[in-house]
Structure 1
Amino acid sequence: AIAASILIGMGALGTAIGFGLLGGRFLEGAARQPEMANMLQVKLFIVAGLLDAVPMIGVGIALFFVFANPFIG
């Protein structure tokens, strides 16, 4: 149970850091080249969707290990 909670927490922490970096780089790029803001925004949403999948996969793996632990018996 402790390992599952660490798995969920680290996945969420990594995703939060990734979202912060992604948003900062988007604002920096849009400020430097305002005419590219629309293209950058599309790429921002694509990468944000991929980043959002990381904690979801972590929760799925953690729940698998909690309820159907393959390492026991």
Structure 2
Amino acid sequence: MEEGMKYIGAGLACFGMIGAAIGVGNIFGSFLDGALRNPSAAAQQTGNLFVGAALAEALGLFAFVVAMLLLFAV
């Protein structure tokens, strides 16, 4: 029973990785929409783009670490 609950918890923790992937897709899609509407402002927003993508990916990696901890450390 306990072994099965570990797998369920790890699977639920993986939803964070799905959310991170969706978030990164939204970030880049919104940047492309804005860059195509106003190309002169695209260069100024590139830094914000990469900071947002890095933060979203960090949350996905955190969810992965939590899943691995649930599987192997508990």
Scaled to the shorter chain, the TM-score interval is 0.7 to 0.9
Give the Cα–Cα distance (whole angstroms) in 2 for the partners of residues 68 and 17 of structure 1: 28
Indicate the residue corresponding to 1:4 in structure 2: 10
Structure 2 distance, partners of 1:68, 1:19, is 29
The alignment's C-alpha RMSD in Å is 1.3
1:31-50 mapped onto 2 (5 Å cutoff) = 31-50=36-55
Question: Residues of 1 paired with 2:41 and 2:52: CA distance?
Answer: 17
The Cα shift of 1:5 comes to 2.2
Gaps of 5+ in 2: 1-6
Q: Which residue of 1 aligns with 2:22?
A: 17
1: distance between equivalents of 2:66 and 2:17? 13
TM-score by length of 1: 0.80
Q: Which protein has the bigger helix share?
A: 2
TM-score (normalised: structure 2): 0.79
